[in-house]
Structure 1
Amino acid sequence: MNEIETIYQKSSSSGTWFCEDYIKLPNRATSYGDGLFETMVWSQDNIRFFEKHLKRLSEGMEFLGMDASMINSEELISLLKKTIPGERKRIRWTVFRAGAGKYTPEESAVIQLLQIAPATVVSEIKRYTDVSRNVQLFANPWSKYKTLNALPYIIANKEKSERGLDEMILLDHRGYISEASIANIFWVKSGTYFTPALTCGCIDGVSRQVLIDYLNSSEIPLEVGEFKLDELHTAEQVVVTNSSGVSYLERFKDRMFSTKPIEFLKLIFD
């Protein structure tokens, strides 16, 4: 089975989605990374946490000056219900600016791509973790969105593979914990959950938002802030979250963590 089974696209001029596995070149996605994407889970004939994905995408489009009114969420769900009813799939929704121009965009219309692939199963336990030697993140007004410039994560994951690690922790340029190689990070100490603030350059992950909402609504202590790496040396559990689910870190340097599943996480991300 191919990693990507089906690709749909919708141009700025077409009224409906059509199945096509190539895009016209040049375009502003490949030339300038002028776009955004959302990676989502399709299950039980719906996109998990879809409203949060839609909100983040729409806010990112507005920040970049793209026409968010071109997004039709009901049409998207209808397409997926007809195409993959009852299945569990990984959906990547890419939105990039249409038209020409160089660094200065000439229009706000967008082209959309849907990549439908087998659902990703994350490793429940990641045994070996270290800090990236090559990547430092910088907070800016767009760092919380998933833009088409993913070079920091490509470099981090290449380093992770070369060093034989299961996970990589990324710091910001000041030395504060930011996130994992493709996920947000949380840790637990004495019943309190901790996670980096967006000021540390991390992506405002949908799973991060869902977990923060759950902790707050359940009145479970949570601290969102700027934390140095020493925090992990006294943590009891460390989890990383992304659209595919939750993984538990077992070891960071000489520190061992509990990998006992947290029951409410299983309920949230099942």
Structure 2
Amino acid sequence: MAWTWVNGEYYSEVFASDRGLLYGDGCFTTMRLRRKADRYWYPDLWEYHQKRLHETCQALGISLPDVLADHVEKVLASAVIDALSDSDFAVLRITVTRGIGGHGYAPERDAAPTIVLSLGSFPVHYLEWQHRGVKADFASFRLGIQPVLAGLKTLNRLEQVILKQELLQRPEVHELIALDMEGHVTEATAANIFWRKGETWYTPCLSRAGVDGVMRQAVMMRNPEIQEVRVAPDVLLDADEMFMCNALMELVPIFQIADYQLPNVQLYPDGVETLLTREASE
């Protein structure tokens, strides 16, 4: 079950003529909310989520209203969130569309953006994954190459829908790793991936395809020595350690990919801080 606010109004409706619905003209970000000792809810990585929305809206030519933070504060202060979650975590998705107007694909110059906030329960299986790890394989579906939109979390997620459909047909694995049309490792179905060979950490370069997740950004910011590379899938079959991450699951170890067992499977109890902490203690 989920609750929705549209432009700050609870249980509002989105017009059928909204360009986000008609054309996927917009962007979104999904964040984890954490209930702390004072019983108030806080959005994890909020600065990264704000940055993502601002940068993506700028790339799409959408004017993001200054009231975004006010809308989020309104949701965090709502009693609905306590009724929703029995745990200390919840999920908030922020969707920004270009709004209503324009002729066909051509947008209206001064369209007023629509902001939709959707509050939902936390996928608790992520907590189990953090402690047990996951088994992955390579997807047969490949991601298209589009440098202009690469890295952005736009509303056009049909590729990820197809990947999830493929994953549903593969009950023997928890996750799939997608390649781009040129055969380069890109990302998981809804997460970014990192792997270590020797003393060096790597992650796929996302300048041509894929989504630059906020957790990926946080890991890269704290670990600037990580190398961004374009590699064939067989490179992963020689890795020493691997994990996937997104804003909800944090860091989840991958213990097997295809038939290859990772020789070093680590847990990441400190989330995004783990790599730095481990490096400092070694």
Give TM-score scaled by structure 2 length: 0.84
Deviation at 1:40, TM superposition (A): 0.6
SS at match of 1:238: strand
Structure 1: any 5+ residue segments left out of the alignment?
A: 11-16
1:177 Cα offset (Å): 0.6
Aligned counterparts of 1:265 and 1:74: Cα–Cα separation in 2: 25
State the shift of 1:190 in Å. Answer: 1.1
Per mean C-alpha deviation after superposition, the further-off stretch among 130-139 and 249-258 is 130-139
| Distance change (3 Å), C-alpha of 1:144 and 1:98 | same
In structure 2, the CA distance between the partners of 1:64 and 1:108, relative to structure 1 (3 Å rule), is farther
Q: What is the match of residue 247 of structure 1?
A: 252
Instruction: Give the structure 2 partner of residue 151 of structure 1.
Output: 158
Name 1:8's counterpart in structure 2. Answer: 5
Specify which of 56, 70, 79 is matched with residue 75 of structure 1: 70
**Equivalent-residue separation in structure 2 for 1:20 and 1:248 (angstroms):** 38
Contact preservation (8 Å) 1:92, 1:115: yes
Q: SS of the counterpart of 2:15?
A: coil
Residues 128-152 of structure 1 show CA distances to partners (whole Å, capped at 9, x for unaligned) of 3221112323132122111111000
Q: Deviations over 1:183-221 (max 9, x none)?
A: 0010011121100112241211100010011112xxxx4
1:104 paired residue number: 106
2:27 aligns to what?
A: 36
Aligned runs of 1:191-206 on 2, under 5 Å? 191-206=199-214
Give the partner amino acid of 2:99.
A
Question: For the residues of structure 1 that align with 2:207 and 2:62, how far apart are their CA atoms?
Answer: 24
What amino acid is aligned across from residue 178 of structure 2 in structure 1? L
Identity of aligned residues (%): 25
Shift in Å, 1:127:
3.8
What is the match of residue 236 of structure 2? 232
- After TM superposition, the structure 1 = structure 2 runs for residues 119-198 of structure 1, keeping only pairs within 5 Å, are 119-121=122-124, 122=126, 123-124=129-130, 125-164=132-171, 165-198=173-206
SS in 2 for 1:198: coil
Aligned partners of 2:197 and 2:239 also within 8 Å: yes
Task: Supply the AA of the counterpart residue of 1:19.
Answer: Y
Runs (4+) off by over 6 Å = none
Q: Provide the rounded CA distance (Å) in 2 between the counterparts of 1:74 and 1:31.
A: 26
- Shift in CA distance, 19/49, structure 1 to aligned 2, threshold 3 Å: same
Relative distance call for 1:78 and 1:163 in structure 2 (3 A) is closer
1:266 Cα deviation after fit: 6.4
Q: CA deviation at 1:253?
A: 1.8
